[in-house]
Structure 1
């Protein structure tokens, strides 16, 4: 390549090289860039003069890159991506979509709502610094009040004055029973809670909403409450124990969907239940009077739009 002239290459040149490589025809590349074919042909000739070598050769299959062309195509794609990224970053700064946002969420809310909202936000502002914690509502509300979170997706615990919060939306948390596919109960035709009582269970700590919902169903059905229980909030611990034993774990439907149906992990599945297990609703909670940064407000709005639509 001629180093004296290659620096004359401009974004429009890289765009043409990339388009020809992608589409295989000069005419199609010209059309995709809103150029006439003669203009595109002249531009390609200009590129080859600056580079000092042929970039493409015409074959019956279309335009094939030369060795020099292949190198330039790689560089062109990198340059164009950098330009696009610069545009996104500038737009994010202009719109206030920069900085840091930290949120807390119950497990089902994190999987079902926070993750999709983050994906949408990252499409708008890829460099934003996002922190997500999954914890009990009691811990999250305490940290929300101390200013560690911008907002949380959870519940206001008993004994906490709800008047100090702004509460939006309400979604019921449905629970499914998760086991490994080789569990003895998987092929039982008419399964009831009494059949599950003597197996080991993995659950959240006593007093948590999901644990209370499960125990209430056992009580309502007149079944003995399981006594062999490991208490944990760690989803990783739950998965590991389920995959390696005949343990049973109640999980929110969003989490069981992810583990058993969307991206199967540990060869897990759900057990059918005639009696639904429903946990008390959780909400999007902010502190009254707290002013959110533009980036935190944007994430909240993206999350809330999904939260309200799916919570109906």
Structure 2
């Protein structure tokens, strides 16, 4: 069975808007014309896609089964159109990527600089966040690549096996924090300090928890939990909080003499990071070009240089 993209667009617009009238307004067509379009699609499918109610349109089981495939086909058609337009010089291709804070601060900019140096017609859209935010962005087609802590593949998302690197995380404090004056500082000495870290369930939280458990210590009382890198850095630099961060995330602040690793002997925890993509569909060419540069940086060991 072949699908008409015009019909699929009409179908997904009705689903997202919730009613025939709102969908018709969005598509700038009349309701009767839109009804005929959906009727032809239902004839091609051989079954009803909607149950029509006074308050709107509700998907049938068959309509619900068709929806993710329709969204995928429309997205792939959009990617093809964008790539061809870029090759013809009619439009810029777009790299849509997400990254955790440490990679957004150092490694990703290196790769972007390299890819834009070769492909000046591209431009880049970036989101920053912890894994749950990046996974949502991949599933919803907000981004095409995500750079984050290595984790298990899922039904919709898979790791890129040949694009991996490592960094190290530490306890971080302002350079004027009182604990820096304590002789023979230990991890146990941090338990009474105020802490600010990403929330429970995120990779940084679990990484820190494993570090404390490995030294037979309970987690400290976390005063502030936030996904905002900006807030975390401000709390550490300006309010005497401690935090747990990968070294690239605070490298600039460390060089500026604002905050840095708290000198606790033996406290350094490595983590593996990787690139992720959607399991289904074709990786858009702009994202593939960025992935090539990410692989190149990994192969040459430049990723490790950013963590030193």
Q: TM-score normalized by structure 2?
A: 0.62
Contact 2:163 2:275 in 1 (8 A): yes
Report what 1:131 is aligned to: 125
Offset, 1:155:
4.3
Report what 2:100 is aligned to: 106
Report what 1:182 is aligned to: 176
CA distance in 2, matches of 1:276, 1:231: 22
Secondary structure in 2 matching 1:178: strand
CA distance in 2, matches of 1:250, 1:243: 13
CA distance in 2, matches of 1:107, 1:295: 22
Offset, 1:196:
0.7
Contact 2:155 2:279 in 1 (8 A): no
CA distance in 2, matches of 1:159, 1:116: 26
Residues 161/276 of structure 1: CA separation in 2 closer, same or farther (3 Å cut): farther
Do residues 268 (structure 1) and 259 (structure 2) align?
Answer: yes
Offset, 1:278:
2.5
Contact 1:176 1:256 in 2 (8 A): no
CA distance in 2, matches of 1:294, 1:159: 23
Contact 2:150 2:272 in 1 (8 A): no
Contact 1:173 1:280 in 2 (8 A): yes
Do residues 154 (structure 1) and 145 (structure 2) align?
Answer: no
The correspondence of residues 1-312 of structure 1 with structure 2, limited to 5 A, is 98-155=92-149, 160-161=154-155, 166-261=160-255, 264=256, 267-278=258-269, 280-310=271-301
Contact 2:165 2:298 in 1 (8 A): yes
CA distance in 1, matches of 2:157, 2:236: 41
Contact 1:213 1:279 in 2 (8 A): no
Secondary structure in 1 matching 2:141: coil
Q: Deviations over 1:223-260 (max 9, x none)?
A: 34211421112111112212222210111111122321
Residues 287/205 of structure 1: CA separation in 2 closer, same or farther (3 Å cut): same
Contact 1:138 1:157 in 2 (8 A): no
Residues 133/213 of structure 1: CA separation in 2 closer, same or farther (3 Å cut): same
Larger radius of gyration: 1
Offset, 1:274:
2.5
Residues 296/143 of structure 1: CA separation in 2 closer, same or farther (3 Å cut): same
Aligned alpha-carbon RMSD (Å): 2.8
Count of aligned pairs between the two proteins: 218
Residues 183/107 of structure 1: CA separation in 2 closer, same or farther (3 Å cut): same
Stretches of structure 1 that go unaligned for 5 or more consecutive residues are 1-91
Q: TM-score normalized by structure 1?
A: 0.61
CA distance in 2, matches of 1:124, 1:298: 10
Residues 156/196 of structure 1: CA separation in 2 closer, same or farther (3 Å cut): closer
